[in-house]
Structure 1
Amino acid sequence: MHNLLVVLQCILAVAIIAVVLIQPGKMDGFTNFSGGVTDTFFAKNKSKTRESMLIRLTAILGFLFAVVTVLLNMSKFK
C-alpha cells in the first residue's frame, strides 16, 4: 500500500507541474490599473475557456495530492 501511494504521489506531482507550466501568464493584470473595462465576450464566458479548465484541473490535482500525502503519512505510522 505504501509503495502504491508513493507512486501515485509522484504521478500527481508531475501532473501538477505540467498543468501549471501549461497555464498562460497573468501579465495582463497590470493593464487593469489604467482603468480599462474588461467586459469582453471572454470575460463574461470565462468558465468555458481553456484557462478556467486548467485552473480547475490544478485545484483538483492539488487536492488529490494533499489527500495522498495525508494517507501516506497515516500509512507510515501503522
Structure 2
Amino acid sequence: MIKIILSIIFVIICIALSAIILLQEGKSQGLGAIGGMADTYWGKNKGRSMEGNLEKFTKYGAVLFFVLSLVLNIL
C-alpha cells in the first residue's frame, strides 16, 4: 500500500518538476552588451521574483525526486 502511494507521489513530482523546468528562462537570457541582468532591479531581487521561486522549487523538487527514487528502489 505504501509503495503505491509513494509511486503516485513520485509521478506527480516528476510531472511538476518537468513543468517547473520548462517554465524557467534560459541562463543566457539577459546577457547583453549592456551588462546583463546583474545591474537591474530584477537581478538584485531575483530571490523574490517568480524566477527565483522557480529555481527554489526546482532544487527542492530535485532533492525530493532523488530521495523518493531511492526509497522506491529499496522497497
| TM-score in same-fold range (> 0.5) | yes
Rg larger for: 1
Q: Which residue of 2 aligns with 1:3?
A: 4
More helix by share: 1
Q: Which residue of 1 aligns with 2:60?
A: 60
Q: What 5-or-longer segments of structure 2 have no aligned partner?
A: none
17-26 vs 62-71, which moves further: 17-26
Moved over 4 A (4+): none
Q: Which residue of 2 aligns with 1:45?
A: 45
Q: What 5-or-longer segments of structure 1 have no aligned partner?
A: none
Identity percentage of aligned residues: 32
2:30 is the counterpart of 1:26: no
Q: Which residue of 2 aligns with 1:36?
A: 35
Aligned AA (2:4) = N
Aligned residues: 73
1-10 vs 21-30, which moves further: 21-30
Q: Which has the higher contact order (CA 8 A, sep 6+)?
A: 1
